[in-house]
A = this chain, B = another copy of it.
Amino acid sequence: MPQSMSKNIEETCVKENRIFDGKILNLRCDEVRTPSGRIASREVVEHKPAVGMLAVTDKKTVLLVHQYRYAVGEETLEVCAGLIEKGEDPAAAAEREMQEELNVKARTLYRIGEFYASPGFCTEIFTLFLAEGLEKSSLPQDEDENVSVLEVPFKDIPVMIKEGRIRDSKTFAALSWLMAKEGIAPEI
C-alpha cells in the first residue's frame, strides 16, 4: 500500500438534499466536508443495481442485444442486461433477463465481478456474469422487449471494437474480458 493511502481521504455528508425521486433513479445534491475541511457540493444519482450477461454458445459465438436507447438517442449493441428487482438475487435477475431478451437459459453462470458504472456520481452497480451451456428456453419470449438478438463469432469481436460498433461500456468490458480468456488480441 502506498504511503499516501493511509491518509484520510473521505468526504463526509454535512447536509443531504433530495432533489428528485423517480422510477429508476433518484437525485441528491449533498453538501460535504472534504478532508481539508472545505465545504463542497456533490451531485449523486441513486440508481438500481443491474446485471449484465456475457452469453456465449458452444459454437464460440456471443449473443448481443440490439436495441434503441432513448437517453443517448442511438441504437446500441449490448450484452443482455437489466435492472435487479427489489429483493431479487443477481443470479435470478440474470436468468430472468436471459429468458426475456435472449429466450435462452444457461446451464452455468460464472460471476466475473461487480462494477460501478460511473462511481464519480452514480451508485449504479452491475454484476457481470459469464453464461455458458445455453439452451433454447421453452417459455415464450417477452413480447414487450423491443430488442433483437445478434449472434457474433468470437473472431469478429476485435474488428467490431476497432470499427466503433461497440459503444456501451459494460459490453466493451465483457467482450475485452472474453478476448483475454480466449487468447484473442485486439485490433490496433
Contacts and interface: CB of A to CB of B under 8 A. Distances in A.
Contacts of A164: 113-114
Interface string A111-142: 01111111111111110000000000000000
B66 A5 contact: yes
Given A43-B24, A68-B9, A146-B34, A161 B122 contact: no
8 contacts: A2-B148, A5-B66, A5-B75, A69-B116, A113-B166, A114-B164, A125-B167, A176-B177
Interface of A: 2-5, 9-11, 19-20, 22-25, 27, 29-30, 32, 34-35, 41-45, 47, 66-72, 74-76, 78, 81, 110, 112-126, 146, 148-150, 161, 164, 166-170, 172-173, 176-177, 179-181, 183-186, 188
